[in-house]
Structure 1
Amino acid sequence: MAGNVGSRAFQNARLEKKNRKQAEPLLAAAAAAHRARRPAEVRALCSQVLALLPDHAGALRLLGMAALDAGALSDAAAALTRAVEVDPRDVDAHANLGIVLSNMGRHAEARGHQERAVALVPNFFAGWNSLGSTLLRLEQAEQAIAAYDRALALKPDYAEAHCNRGMALLLVDRSAEALQSFDRALAFNPRYVQALHGKGMVNLGLRRVDAALAAFDAALAISPDAASVLAERGRAYLQAGRFDQAKADFDAALAHAPDLEAALLGRAHLGVDKNDVAPAVAACRKVLEQNPNSEAAWTWLGGCYAKQGEIDAALQHFDHALALKPDCRDAIAAKIFTLDFLPDADFARQQAVRREWWERIGARLPRAALSPRNMDPERRLVIGYVSADFRNHSAAFTVLPVLSHHDRARFQVICYTCSARQDEITARCRAAADVWVEAWQMSDGDLADRIQADGVDILVDLSGHSAGNRLTLFASKPAPIQVTAWGHGTGTGLPTIDYFFADPVTVPSGVRHLFAEQVYDLPAVITTDPLPGAPSTTLPMLRTGHVTFGVFNRIDKISDAALAVWARLMALLPDSRIVIKNSAIDDNFLREGLIARFVAHGVAAERVICLGSTTREQHVAQFAHVDISLDPFPQNGGVSTWESLQAGVPVVARLGCSTASRAAAAINTALGLDDWVAGDDDGYLAIALKHAADTAELARLRAELPARVATSAAGNVETYTRKVEEGYRQFWRRYCA
């Protein structure tokens, strides 16, 4: 019996030796075929080897690598898993199995095999690089950077590891180091598209748009169809205000990669910015079909709903984004801005979400070290104004009067413009400043350094939480005193901002303790320059025989609550008309949706007159056809309220329970028009009906309103500016004391 066993063992050994001898040339040929990138030939040869020697680790490894080259990940994983079972010390099998599993999304398993590979061969530089990439996918950026550092210590000219290290550094906001890594990669491989892509992304994050565009252009010169680079260049064009070029790049990226998330999100961003809502919604939904956890898609979809006035739905989407990423800056900024449109969002709720911004974002940012200042309380002060809206924008119309009428003997004015978009209003703002700084391509750190170098004593935020704001800069406090004012005057929630310009109506004394800033009262929360070319006109209803109401505000300010009251008013005055004017009405989707809302309330479509984009002069001229303006709520008009009053058209206002819902009432009160301010819906309706019925009184008020505005402390821009300057001087004296 023992002899038979021994004989069989001998025969098996001879057979295995014979099979190994037959397998050797087959394996050599398979290795050559693999080097020549002929995966089908590799599979055929390895199959012959495995028919002879089913547990041949080398053949299993080559078979797995060939399957990986062919994109057959499941086959690759099966073969390589078997290879490491047969030979647990096969470094290449572990390394390649790690790559396969990572490509399959099984990153934790991949990490185990890659760690085994570098443990077996500690100087395996490619293994360290692969391990770094897997750690990056596991969102362990610091450990990934350490792995790339190990690879580079072994091979300093390893361009791929330098590039990957740059991507990891980018994710942890170490931008300067990331830029160095990409430059090192390009020093070893000047045509490395991914490194050029990364360099562009770093510069875009630092707001250096020109440098970003140069890097993206260089990458696309090498690889014109690189969809991810096209999408990022689209983002750069978007930041530069070059919307047509941005759209072209997003569309080109999607032509090459229809599901590319970055391009779809760029398309959504562009749609929201340009009031092109339907394509933006479609882009967001496509992203969410493939990635339900995209906080950016939830944010932009919320922005689409906000544009249509669906505030509750918008807020739900922003909250969903914040549940996925609590420090998502776009989502929390959008939520703050949109809450101004929610009827029951009072002072407490609105300031609470601003404090959330501070806790989640602002408090984590480093503080600037202030340079010494001349502490003379009466010296000429340097005032710095920071805005992305020094252009044809309502925010510019609220600051221009102050810029233009500052006492230059007592105040030096520096404007830091944070937008590439420029027009004739930009030119007026520039002319009103002593120093004009193009800050839109400066990172927060670069801009803070410039503000310090300029010796700014009081830095003024003109954007609040609206688009293009630089509140992350204000969080670092690069100036001794900081103020928020005018552009989005609702409070910021930043303890680093000392003062908030408001008025007693907009922010009553009983709620001031809720604000992070100390409130300083002006005659009204905002003012504007006198209207250009606005001659007094006769009351339109005297010639038309019916009252015409006007709403010259953004569509998203037209809440369901306000529209319902207006519809009730028009039902009681069946011959009345309503003129709604805003540039968003150029979008058919938004215009038809707005008219449909009125129709749903029983107002015939022909009674709703929609006017879109015009020149400023044409805009002002339209007030000649309006008898009474209806202020929207809860988000009031600001500049539009002043324009109406300056044109002689009184405004019905409703006093709300938040900063944004009290601005129109504050303006009316400042002009002695308290009887045009309602406390509720019925009061609003009663005011409109009363004045529509009293033609003589309405005509008298129309004739006297322009002069009343011009002589008031709130409407006389020189008087208003002196009050602003009194505030600045008071703030500085306190600081010096």
Structure 2
Amino acid sequence: MQSTIGSRAFQNARMQKKNRKQADGLLPQAVTAYRGGRHADAQAVCGQILALVPDHFEALHLLGASALDSGRLDLAEQALTRAVAVEPRNAEAQANLGLVLSSMKRYEEARAAQERAIALKPNFATALTGLGNTFMNMRLFEQAIEAHDRAIAVKPDFADAYCNRGMAQLLLLRNEEARQSFERALALAPRHMQATFGKGLVSINLRHFDQALAAFNAALAMKPGTAAVIAQRGRLYIQMGRFKEAEADFDAALATDPMLEAALLGKAHVCVLTERIAPAMAACQRVLEHNPASEIALVWLGACFAKQGDTATAIQHFDRALEIKPDFEDAIMKKIFALDFYPEADVAVHQAVRREWWDRIGAHIPQRQLASVDRDAGRRITIGYVSSDFRSHSAALTFLPVLRHHDHGAFEVICYSCSPLVDSVTDQCKAVADGWVDSWQLSDDELADRIQSDQVDILVDLSGHSAGNRLTVFARKPAPIQVTAWGNATGTGLPTMDYFFSDPVTVLPAVRPLFAEQVYDLPALITTDPLPGAQPTPLPMLRNGYVTFGVFNRIDKISDHVLAVWSALLRALPDARVVIKNGALDDTFLRDGLISRFVAHGIGESRLTCMGASMRQEHIAAFADIDISLDPFPQNGGVSTWESLQAGVPVVAKLGNSSASRAGGAIVKAIGLDDWVAEDDDGYIAIALRHAAQPAELARVRAELPARVANSAAGNVETYTRKVEEGYRQFWRRYCAEAG
């Protein structure tokens, strides 16, 4: 028996020795294939070796490295896990296992493997910078930079470590440090694609968009078809207002990598901007299936719900994003904007979330040291207007009349335009300004520098928390006096903002202490120019035999609350019709969703007319078919309210419990139509029913309205502008007195 056992052991040993010799002979073939980039061949040969010697460390290690390089992460993990089990003290295998685990987003396990590699080999530069990347993915940015610095200390000419450090610095918004890291990487390796890409990302952060585009194009010239770079170029194109090129880049990136998060998020972004909500939601949901903690996907999905009027669900998504990333500015701003549409939110809630923006974002921005100024209270005052909407945008309709009628003897007017989009309205704004600064490619600090260089006395924000705002510039306080007005005038929550233009109805005295700014009353929150060439039109119900209500507002203003009220009104007038006009209704998904909401309240589709985008002249002409306009709530109309009144169509409004829900009623009251403004839902319906039953009186009001608007302090733009200038002069005198 013993001799038989001994013989068998001898034969097994001979077989193992033979297999080992054969396996070792195959290994050079695998290495050659790997070095030649022939991963399929390398992996096949490694498979042959492992069939002969299952614990062949070199083959396991090579198989893992090849599988990692070719994106076969499951195979890479299996091979490298076996490799480190065979030789647990091999630092290179531990480091490669860490790379695989990090690529699989298993960051804690990756960190452990990389730290084991460094413990075995303390001066292992590749493992150190790999650990830094893992820390970065874990949002441990300071630890990431420390690990990259250790790698650089070990290997001062390590271009990858400089580049990786730059990426971590970028995420901390340490843009100048990041730029220097990328420059150092490129000095060591001039064709370092990732460092070139990093320079593009820095340029985006600094709003140097032309430089960013040049960097991304250079990176793609080095490595054509790189999906991550293409996706970031798409993001850049969005910021440059080039939406078609942006979407083409996102589609190209997704063709290469269908689950690339940056490309899916970019696709969602551009679809929201172009009012295509269904594909935007689909892109967000694909991201969240694989990464439920994607704060960006949550924000864009929230934006999709907001577009449909589902404000409560939108806010839930923004809150979830803020739980993940408390200083995520886009989430805070979208929440601020959405709460203006939320029926349960009052002034206290609105101002609290604006203070939240300050606490999370603005308070961390250093304020400027102001130079001494000429404190002559009667001198010419320099006014600086900051906006991304000096173009065909509803906001421009509210501030262009003021720009046009300024007294340039008393006020120097400088406009800081923060958008790449220009059109005929831009030309009109330029024509009435004393100075014009294209600011869309200036960083916040560069814009603040320019404002101080221009010696602006009163800096005016025309955006509030709406898209394209530069409130982070206002947080720096580059001017002695700062005012928020018109474009999205609901208060900012910034202690650095001194005044807020409003009116006595929009912001009641009792709630004014809740605002960060001091409220200054104008005849109305906003005004607009008279309608060009508008002529009185006959009352449509005289020829139709029924009343036609109009809603020429954004459809996300149509809350469930107001839709229920309108539906009750329509049920009380079975022959009545309603026309809803907004560019978003060109999106079939949104249009069908809105119609279905009415149908759910018992209002037949035949009673609804949905109209999409049109030129402004056609938009105004459509009021000729409207008898009475219905103001939505809680987010009222602004420009749409003025347009309706100027066209001779009175507006039924209701006063709510927030600035956003009182603005429409304030405009209607400002021209003396107090009996068209209700205090509650029943009153709103009663007003509409009463006037619908009096066609002769309605026709009289229609004929008189344009003149009534033109003769009011709120509707006469020259009178309104004088009131604005009285405010500026009062602010300046007060500042001079306080400074003295």
**Is TM more than 0.5 here?**
yes
Aligned to 1:82: 85
Q: Please say if residues 80 and 97 of structure 1, whose CA atoms lie closer than 8 Å, have aligned partners that are also in contact.
A: no
Structure 1 residue aligned with 2:313? 313
Aligned to 2:289: 289
* 8 Å Cα contact 1:474/1:496 also seen in 2: yes
1:276 is aligned to 276
Structure 2 CA distance for partners of 1:107 and 1:542, relative to 1, 3 Å: closer
Greater alpha carbon shift after TM alignment, 406-415 vs 94-103: 94-103
| Equivalent residue letter for 1:30 | L
Name the residue aligned to 2:238: 238
- In structure 1, the residue matched to 2:563 is 563
Q: Which amino acid aligns with 1:283?
A: A
User: Residue deviations 1:214-245, cap 9 Å, x none?
Assistant: 11222223333211111111111111111111
Match of 1:41 in 2: 45
Cα shift at 1:20: 9.0
- In the alignment, residue 389 of structure 2 is paired with which amino acid? D
The answer to whether 1:607 aligns with 2:607 is yes
Q: Report if aligned partners of 1:27, 1:46 keep a CA contact under 8 Å in 2.
A: no
Q: Quick one: which amino acid aligns to residue 293 of structure 2?
A: N
1:547–1:627: 8 Å Cα contact kept in structure 2? yes
* Cα pair 2:65 2:76 within 8 Å, conserved: no
Task: State whether structure 2 residue 153 is matched by structure 1 residue 148.
Answer: no
Asked if 2 retains the 8 angstrom alpha-carbon contact of 1:390 and 1:426, the reply is yes
Conserved in 1, the CA contact under 8 Å of 2:125 and 2:155? yes
1:173 alignment partner in structure 2: 173
After superposition, the Cα gap between the structure-2 partners of 1:222 and 1:67, relative to the gap in structure 1 and judged at 3 Å, is: closer
Within 1, Cα distance between the matches of 2:100 and 2:589?
A: 47
**1:671 matched to which residue of 2?**
671
Deviates more, 1:509-518 or 1:353-362: 353-362
| Residues 375-414 of structure 1 mapped to structure 2, 5 A cutoff | 375-414=375-414
Q: In structure 2, what is the Cα distance between the partners aligned to 1:562 and 1:134?
A: 50
Which letter does structure 1 place at the counterpart of 2:186? L
Letter in 2 for 1:73: A
Note the C-alpha offset of 1:39. 4.0
Corresponding residue to 1:30 among 22, 27, 30: 27
Is the Cα contact below 8 Å between 2:63 and 2:76 reproduced in 1?
Answer: no
Equivalents in 1 of 2:60, 2:591: separation in Å? 65
The total of aligned residue pairs comes to: 720
Q: Does the 8 Å contact 2:46/2:60 carry over to 1?
A: no
- Residue type at the aligned position of 1:241: G
Once residues 562 and 97 of structure 1 are traced to their aligned partners in structure 2, the CA distance between those partners, rounded to angstroms, is 58
Q: Which segment drifts farther, 310-319 or 719-728?
A: 310-319
Tell me the alpha carbon deviations over residues 49-77 of structure 1, each in whole angstroms, 9 at most, x when there is no partner.
Answer: x57xx6x8767655655665564223333
CA distance in structure 1 between the aligned counterparts of 2:105 and 2:647, rounded to whole angstroms: 64
Q: Does 1:500 align with 2:500?
A: yes
Q: What is residue 360 of structure 2 aligned with on the other side? A: 360
Offset from partner CA, 1:305-329 (integer Å, 9 cap, x none): 1111112221222122222222221
8 A Cα contact 1:99 1:130, kept in partner: yes
Q: Which stretches in structure 2 are left out of the alignment for 5+ residues?
A: 35-41
User: Residue type of the partner of 1:165?
Assistant: R
> Alpha carbons of 1:610 and 1:103: their partners in 2 closer, same or farther (altered >3 Å)?
closer
Question: Quick check: 2:29–2:45 contact (8 Å CA) kept in 1?
Answer: no
**Any idea what SS the aligned residue of 1:661 has?**
coil
Contact 2:234–2:247, Cα closer than 8 Å, also in 1 = yes
Amino acid at match of 1:418: C
Q: Could you tell which deviates more after superposition, 626-635 or 126-135?
A: 126-135
Q: Is the 8 A contact 1:30 1:46 kept in 2?
A: no
Residues 612-691 of structure 1 correspond to what in structure 2 (within 5 A)?
612-691=612-691
Q: Once the two structures are superposed, what CA deviation does each residue of 1:523-553 show, in whole Å capped at 9, x if it has no partner?
A: 1111111111111222222222222211111
Shift of 1:520: 0.5
Distance in 2, Cα, partners of 1:28 & 1:446: 64
For residues 575-596 of structure 1, the C-alpha deviation after alignment (integer angstroms, 9 at most, x for no partner) is 2221211111111222222222
Moved more, 92-101 or 307-316: 92-101
Give, in whole Å, the separation in 1 of the partners of 2:216 and 2:629.
49
2 CA distance for matches of 1:239 and 1:697?
50
Give deviations 1:267-312, integer Å, cap 9, x for gaps: 1111211111111111111111111111111111111111111122
Instruction: Indicate the residue corresponding to 1:487 in structure 2.
Output: 487
Checking the alignment, whether the CA contact within 8 Å between 1:200 and 1:216 is kept in structure 2 is yes
Using structure 1 for the length normalisation, give the TM-score: 0.92
How far apart, CA to CA, are the structure 2 residues paired with 1:135 and 1:17? 48
Structure 1 CA distance, aligned partners of 2:655 and 2:205? 41
Q: Structure 1's 42 and 281: CA in aligned 2 closer, same or farther, altered over 3 A?
A: closer
Residue type at the aligned position of 1:639? V
Cα distance in 2 for residues equivalent to 1:701 and 1:407: 34
Cα 1:16/1:148, change in 2 over 3 Å: farther
Name the residue aligned to 1:456.
456
Three-state SS of the structure 1 residue aligned to 2:422 is: coil
CA distance in 2, matches of 1:714, 1:280: 40
Q: Does 1:421 align with 2:421?
A: yes
Using the alignment, how far apart are the partners of 1:148 and 1:16 within structure 2? 47
- 2: CA distance, partners of 1:550 / 1:728: 37
Q: Which segment is superposed worse, 274-283 or 204-213?
A: 204-213
Shift of residue 43 of structure 1? 5.2
Shift of 1:410: 1.2
Give the structure-2-normalised TM-score: 0.92
Which residue in 1 is equivalent to 2:699? 699
Q: Deviations over 1:126-176 (max 9, x none)?
A: 232222222222322222222222322343332222221111111111111
SS in 2 for 1:391: coil
Percentage identity across aligned positions? Answer: 63
